[in-house]
């Protein structure tokens, strides 16, 4: 399962000079930690049935011969782990496999095929993977910190479009990426206007092609995410029709093949890496200027640092426990896809989730918070805690 050759970088650049960026990749750089509320729940969720992996198990394991193959989108995870310093602390090897933005379906296919051990992606591809019979597990998760009022995802229309409310999308061509979270975003937004998926004509396009179609006027609207929303609306030629604030918590998942969890040392390495990704996200929250600069040279190449910082504030996320609340959200999504005739059978999504690493993540973040609090007291600053953006 350990391929030695890293995939070539396949990012493309739009004519505006902006690399294709995945919604979940951007979130990785914006992951924050709800220290006062989320951490206790990580270890105590009643829905977690698996025995918990402990920090002592990881510390006592010999992981020097382990290689973890990671599916990354535009180097975001790799850049995050390196910039935060977490990549330099690993007792195992990482082998990076690069994918373009909005590659959730391709990532789950690679995991199902055995070439990738861990990937960070949106929630929707897992539903279609389960429907196809793939055995994958969610071992880590994050969601928007204040999803009632904030969202990175939405529907954009031209500024001079006669469409001023969601219900007016009926019968219109709408660009989106089928099989990704943008298909679900479209459905949830359409529901706010009393419409269903069958009320529009979906035009299946990759992210950057969707932007080009909207600019050319070949579609009436585009379902997309930041930084595209910020980029388009800042120029005054386009406007946000509706985002998913209040209707969708926008979770993203760390996903691994179920078979990997049966391999003792590989499973421990995946658990340790999950906790380090959470720590790296905390670093990004505490060092937004540095992280924005890193992103300006990578996944957000071509965008000014100030716009990147604005984009990241739209997507601040918290790590959440693998437990009943998260599973129920995923079940709701699966049910809606079936109701909208995008799935032919009903699914029980509980089998997609494995909470064995909840304690590892909780311990790592609690320890880091204690260290930051001690250092912060001396400096008079205190530990960083996320706030609504």
Distance between the two ends of the chain, CA-based, in angstroms? 41
Distance CA 80, CA 82 (A): 5
Distance CA 149, CA 85 (A): 32
Q: Residue 384 domain-assigned?
A: no
Domain boundary among 215, 243, 271: 243
Regarding predicted confidence, which is higher, 302 or 367? Answer: 367
Confidence at 27, pLDDT banded by 50, 70, 90: very low
**Global confidence as pTM:** 0.82
pLDDT at 31 over 60: no
3-class DSSP state of 271: helix
pLDDT in tens, 120-158: 999 999 999 999 999 999 999 988 777 767 778 999 999
pLDDT in tens, 293-350: 888 777 677 777 877 777 776 667 788 889 999 999 999 999 999 999 999 999 999 9
Whether residues 365 and 255 fall in one domain: yes
Q: Residue 270 domain-assigned?
A: yes
Instruction: State percent of the chain over pLDDT 70.
Output: 80
Regarding predicted confidence, which is higher, 227 or 283? Answer: 283
Q: Residue 10 domain-assigned?
A: no
Domain boundary among 196, 215, 243: 243
Whether residues 354 and 219 fall in one domain: no
Q: Which two tokens stand for residue 59?
A: 């510390």
CA neighbor of 356 nearest in space, from 264, 247, 235, 234: 264
Length of the chain counted residue by residue: 389
Please report, to the nearest 10 degrees, the dihedral formed by the alpha carbons of residues 60, 64, 65, 66 taken in order.
Answer: 80
Whether residues 213 and 271 fall in one domain: no
Whether residues 261 and 294 fall in one domain: yes
- Count of structural domains, the chain: 2
Q: Give me the pLDDT at residue 49, please.
A: 61
Q: Residue 260 domain-assigned?
A: yes
Whether residues 139 and 262 fall in one domain: yes
β-bridge pairing 201-204 and 317-319: unpaired
Q: Residue 124 domain-assigned?
A: yes
Q: Residue 29 domain-assigned?
A: yes
Whether residues 48 and 98 fall in one domain: yes
Distance CA 300, CA 76 (A): 9
Whether residues 229 and 334 fall in one domain: no
**210-236 mean pLDDT:** 91
Whether residues 270 and 361 fall in one domain: yes
Which residue shows structure tokens 């973040």? 365
Residue 268, burial from CB neighbour count under 10 angstroms (0-12, 13-18, 19+): buried
- How far is the CA of 71 from the CAs of 8, 77, 95, 268, 301, in angstroms? 12, 9, 9, 18, 20
- Report the chain's C-alpha Rg in angstroms: 20
Q: Residue 57 domain-assigned?
A: yes
Whether residues 255 and 373 fall in one domain: yes
**352-360 mean pLDDT:** 96
CATH of the domain at 127: 3.40.190.10
**Which residues contact residue 160 at a Cβ distance below 8 angstroms, ignoring those fewer than 6 apart?**
none
Whether residues 178 and 216 fall in one domain: yes
Q: Residue 8 domain-assigned?
A: no
Domain boundary among 214, 243, 272: 243
Whether residues 44 and 187 fall in one domain: no
Confidence at 370, pLDDT banded by 50, 70, 90: low
Whether residues 288 and 303 fall in one domain: yes
**24-45 mean pLDDT:** 40
Instruction: State percent of the chain over pLDDT 90.
Output: 57
Give the structural domain span for 200.
153-243
Q: Give me the pLDDT at residue 148, please.
A: 65
């Amino acid at each position: 399962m350990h391929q030695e050759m890293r995939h070539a970088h396949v990012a493309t650049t739009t004519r505006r000079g902006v690399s294709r960026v995945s919604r979940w990749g951007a979130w990785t750089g914006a992951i924050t930690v709800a220290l006062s509320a989320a951490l206790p729940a990580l270890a105590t969720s009643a829905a977690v049935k698996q025995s918990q992996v402990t920090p002592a198990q990881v510390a006592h394991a010999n992981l020097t011969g382990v290689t973890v193959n990671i599916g990354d989108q535009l180097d975001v995870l790799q850049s995050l782990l390196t910039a935060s310093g977490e990549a330099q602390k690993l007792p195992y090897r990482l082998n990076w496999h690069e994918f373009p933005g909005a590659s959730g379906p391709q990532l789950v296919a690679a995991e199902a095929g055995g070439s990738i051990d861990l990937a960070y992606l949106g929630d929707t591809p897992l539903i279609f993977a389960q429907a196809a019979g793939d055995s994958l597990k969610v071992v880590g998760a994050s969601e928007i910190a204040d999803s009632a009022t904030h969202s990175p995802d939405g529907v954009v229309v031209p500024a001079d479009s006669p469409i001023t409310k969601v219900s007016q999308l009926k019968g219109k061509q709408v660009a989106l990426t089928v099989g990704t979270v943008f298909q679900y975003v479209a459905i949830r937004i359409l529901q706010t206007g009393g419409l269903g998926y069958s009320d529009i004509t979906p035009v299946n396009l990759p992210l950057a092609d969707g932007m080009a179609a909207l600019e050319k006027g070949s579609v009436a609207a585009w379902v997309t995410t930041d930084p595209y929303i910020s980029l388009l609306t800042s120029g005054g030629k386009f406007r946000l029709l509706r985002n998913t604030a209040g209707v969708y918590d926008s979770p993203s998942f760390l996903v691994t093949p179920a078979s990997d969890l049966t391999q003792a040392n590989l499973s421990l390495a995946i658990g340790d890496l999950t906790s380090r990704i959470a720590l790296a996200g905390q670093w990004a929250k505490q060092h937004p200027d540095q992280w924005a600069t890193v992103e300006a040279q990578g996944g957000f190449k071509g965008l000014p640092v100030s716009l990147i910082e604005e984009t990241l504030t739209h997507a601040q996320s918290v790590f959440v426990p693998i437990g009943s609340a998260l599973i129920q959200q995923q079940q709701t999504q699966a049910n809606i896809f079936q109701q909208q005739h995008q799935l032919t059978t009903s699914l029980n999504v509980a089998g997609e989730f494995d909470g064995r690493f909840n304690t590892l993540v909780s311990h790592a973040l609690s320890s880091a918070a204690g260290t930051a609090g001690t250092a912060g007291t001396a400096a008079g600053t205190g530990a960083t805690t996320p706030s609504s953006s």
